[in-house]
Amino acid sequence: MYSPLTMILVVTAYMALLFALAQWVERRIQNKQFNANKPWLYALSLAVFHTSWTFYGSVGFASRSGPQYLGIYIGALLSILLGWFTVRRMIQAKETFHITSIADFIASRYNRSPTIAALVTLIALLGLVPYIALQLTAIVSSIQIITLQQHGAATWGVHGLLITGLIIGFVIIIGMRRLDPTERHQGMISALVAECIVKLAAALTVGIFITWFMFDGIGDISQQLRDQGFDHLLSFSAGEDSGARWLTLIGLGFVGLQLLPRQFHVAVVENGDKRHFTTALWLFPLYMVLISLFVIPIAGAGLLSGLPAAEADYFVLLLPQQAGADLITLIAFIGGFSAATGMILITTLTLATMLTNHLLLPLIEYSSTLTPLKHSLLQIRWLSAALIVLAGYGFALEFSDRYILVAIGLLSFTAILQFAPAAFIGLFWQGGNRVGALVGLGLGFLAWGWTLALPTFIDHGWFSPTLLELGPWGIEALRPHALLGLEGLPPFVHTSIWSMVLNIGGYMLGSWLYHPDKQERNQTSEFLNAIELNQQSSRARPLGLDAYIELSAKLNEAEILLASYLNEQPAREALDTIVEDLQVYEKRQITIIELIEFHRMLEHKLAGSIGSASAHQAIENGISYSKRESSDLKALYSHIVCDLHVEENRQNRSGDSQPNMNLLEELQNKLNRLQTTAREQEEKIGKMEQRLEASYDESFSYRLEAQRLKQENIELRLQLNPLYSDDN
């Protein structure tokens, strides 16, 4: 038996070791003594998917429903395999658009809509605060079990508050020391990988101990389960509606692996090379098989040992404790603690980023009195992280005695399910637009709140139970657990069905009925072109600054064009002048912006010989662009148009009265006037050069004549000099 003080010291020492590891890794990276950009580190970081829900809750789930707990993991397995087509596109989008979170990703797909980003953030907060509460519940309850303390709100509150404070500090000092959330936290990821290894080692150690030291192996446990009537643990069709349960769990696991904010962060934001995903294709499934290998044996061993079924979530701790194996019990606790803190660390980091960027920052920018807070965004993010973890603590304190780990986990998974249509369909269908995404997310979120979140609060006594029995205003068709007469299903299955029907229906209907403007269509094309898997990643460089265009090919193309109108030597000299003025002479590759300027100067050179209109037509006919070059040109145009619209809207809001001319038309007229002036100046310069050249030729002739006369004068003097001497 361990004392509460001992357990607090163990927790503190363990977190200090993780922090030391993170610091050591970052210091060695700075000194170029260590490369943390390893594919196996990336693959293992994805194992943050396995939380205390896996370490503790899966055993509880299996004790009631048998192998159905595998549904989540089968879905995750399918997700990692199909992630070859989806996750790699997300990584490409992250590199191009500097994406920081799942909210940022979905908003970027739909015209960078701040409304969509805010809605996704709100759904994530409401859906994942209970999941953070689940982790805190697992930690505090396991401390109470390992110290043989009585479960109760008083002791839970004290221990929970202390653990919550330690975790808040841990999250801030490891994951939130810098403001830029897209900067890779290699020290934090290294600590996370260490936790993933620890929880796997703990799960295997406990599983082996229970299976082969407390019993005579898996065969012995299986035989005893059949003999004592616990066959449901071995049946894949245990319980009613098992088919619907299986399909729903598989769907939740599929979506969760990619769209849970913590999974999106480690898989996309922290990705250093999208080729690392190839390693994850085999290493993550192997990890998943190993960590879930002993779930059924532990669940069966707990029931066979006479432990209460209500305590099945903690059989991992109770069985070694019952056997008097204190060391194994401590190992189990550390494994569960690692599983919980890893999830809290990454989830809090991502939620704090989303809360700050998409809810608090727009509020700060809207209110002039809050403007000074812009200079304290990092501190605001720290405060956001603290509030998120404290909200989880409050939820856990309120609901810890009533809801088991699996129920809380499914509440969160079904909330994140609402991101699936906007995220997955939007990756491939160009017809999806901002209104469709808003309608789909909104309807799905309302369905989740009405059919699953509200019944949770009703069961807790916050609302009248008549809502569940009779529906609002006596309308039975609106009963939360039997919406439109669909009843008899498990709550999470019922919610998943209705939320997806409304979400997908709203997304498709809104996208079909709403016709986006040109700006949104351009942004959609830019986004979908940027995530094509056959393109090279731009490594998050600003659009237009990536040098990928071969200069030699463009020079050859330009020389052929010039040679069609000019002689070979003037054409080559003109091209040399352009390259020298553009300062790209020594470059092998140029950017799209440099290419634009190159073609502009080329057109000007041609205009001096064949006229402006003909030169423009010659450029259009004689110059070609690759698919990527065309895409980048459209994207640059889209950015310019977007900025002009923003400026126009700002002037309209401020009441600035300008001439009754559209801002774009005014800009175009200004550009035309400038181009006309430039051409006139070029013509004047040309005439002056001709005059100077004529003057130079005339002056040169005068100098030659003067030189000839001077030479003749000298020769005459030499001829006259002897005569002059003889006369003397």
495 within domain boundaries: no
Note whether residue 341 is domain-resident. yes
Mean residue pLDDT of the chain comes to 82
Q: Which residue range(s) make up the domain with 570?
A: 541-624
In a domain, 720, yes or no: no
What is the distance between the alpha carbons of residues 662 and 648, in angstroms, rounded to a whole number? 9
Q: Is 190 helix (H, G, I), strand (E, B) or coil?
A: helix
**pLDDT at 181 (0 to 100):** 47
In a domain, 675, yes or no: no
State how far the alpha carbon of 228 is from the alpha carbons of 215, 306, 539, in Å: 15, 11, 60
Q: Are residues 169 and 308 in the same domain?
A: yes
Residue 276 lies inside a defined structural domain of this protein: yes
Greatest Cα pair distance, the chain, in angstroms, is: 155
657: confidence class by pLDDT, cuts 50, 70, 90:
very low
- CA–CA gap between residue 66 and residue 162 (Å, rounded): 36
Question: Encoding tokens for residue 638?
Answer: 């889209």
Tokens of 405: 């780990």
| Euclidean distance between CA atoms 313 and 64, whole angstroms | 11
As a whole number, mean pLDDT of residues 617-640 equals 72
Residues 334, 195 within the same domain: yes
Residue 358 counted as domain residue: yes
pLDDT of residue 193: 94
Residue 614 pLDDT grade (very low, low, confident, very high; cuts 50, 70, 90): low
Task: List Cβ neighbours of 330 (8 Å cut-off, separation of 6 or more).
Answer: 2, 10, 146
Q: What is the CATH number of the domain that holds 8?
A: 1.20.1740.10
Q: How confident is the model at residue 388 (pLDDT cuts 50, 70, 90)?
A: very high
How far apart CA 280 and CA 88 sit, in angstroms, is: 12
φ, ψ of residue 230 in degrees (nearest 5): -105, 40
Look at the chain and report how many structural domains it folds into.
2
Note whether 546 and 422 are same-domain residues: no
Q: Do the Cβ atoms of 55 and 406 come closer than 8 Å?
A: no
State mean pLDDT over 508-533: 83
Q: Which residues pair with 640 in a beta bridge?
A: none
How confident is residue 28, by pLDDT bands cut at 50, 70 and 90?
confident
Please tell me the predicted confidence (pLDDT) of residue 264.
95
Residue 323 neighbours by CB under 8 Å, 6+ apart: 209, 213, 214
Q: Is the pLDDT of residue 173 over 60?
A: yes
Is residue 81 classed exposed, middle or buried when 0-12, 13-18 and 19+ CB atoms within 10 A define those classes? exposed
Residue 236 has pLDDT above 80, yes or no: no
Rounded Cα–Cα distance for residues 349 and 570 (Å): 62
Same structural domain, 415 and 546: no
Q: Is pLDDT of 538 > 70?
A: no
Asked whether residue 659 is assigned to any structural domain, the reply reads no
What pLDDT, in 10s, does the model give residues 251-306?
999 999 999 999 999 999 888 888 889 999 999 999 999 999 999 999 999 999 98
- In a domain? residue 266: yes
Write out the DSSP string of 318-360.
HHHHHTT-HHHHHHHHHHHHHHHHHHHHHHHHHHHHHHIIIII
How many residues can be counted in the chain? 728
| Helix (H), strand (E), coil (C) string for 30-58 | HCCCCCCCCHHHHHHHHHHHCCHHHHHHH
Rounded Cα distance between 598 and 362, Å, is: 40
Percent of the chain with pLDDT over 70: 79
Where is the domain boundary, 400, 427, 454?
A: 427
Domain co-membership, 240 together with 112: yes
DSSP state of 589: E
- Final residue belonging to a domain, choices 389, 409, 427: 427
Asked if pLDDT for residue 612 goes beyond 70, the answer is: no
Q: What is the pTM of this model?
A: 0.76
Range of weakest confidence among 17-21, 227-231, 532-536, 629-633: 532-536
* Residue 723: per-residue pLDDT: 47
Looking at the predicted structure, is the pLDDT value of residue 345 above 60? Answer: yes
pLDDT at 496: 93
Asked which of 558, 591, 624 is the last residue of a domain, the reply is 624
CA 367 from centroid of its chain's CA atoms:
28
pLDDT per residue as tens digits for the range 451-502: 998 888 887 777 778 888 888 887 888 888 888 888 888 888 999 999 999 9
